[in-house]
Amino acid sequence: MDSEPALTPAIIFSDSAVRDQVTGKLTLAGIFQHFQSAKVPFVSPPFFATVFVTNIGGEIKSLPVTMNIEDAAGQIISTANGHISAGAQAEGNSIPEIAFPLPPTKFKTAGQYKAVVLINGERLGYRVLNVISYL
């Protein structure tokens, strides 16, 4: 093995995300790792990018969170905004989930794109989203 296994910060792509209003449970359906299309450029259907964030401490009234989809040149091709809010003191081990609904997105070429998470305007991290052309 060339490198040690590591636990990945979570950004999960899915077709839908539904939060139960009673239990607060989040259900993700149609989880995927990449987009695949017969021809590129193509426009994706609407999709979700769900982010899990940890190590947030102190009192939070509203903390802005942004999800950007960037092309290889770093240009933003799709974006969604959300926030983390809590009326009480946040626990350091709390892991809020933010499900970002992303609109239909035009991918101009096959290749690697990035799903980039920003908290309060600062880049927190990213995950690669591959676009594959099978023709």
In the chain, domain spans? 11-133
Which residues lie closer than 8 Å to 135 by C-beta, 6 or more apart?
38, 39
Name the pTM for this structure. 0.85
Q: What is the pLDDT of residues 4-57, one digit of tens each?
A: 655 556 899 999 999 999 998 999 999 999 999 999 999 999 999 999 877 666
Q: Which CATH number fits domain 11-133: 3.40.50.1110, 3.65.10.10, 3.90.320.10, 2.60.40.2550?
A: 2.60.40.2550
36: CB partners within 8 A, 6+ apart: 131, 132, 133, 134
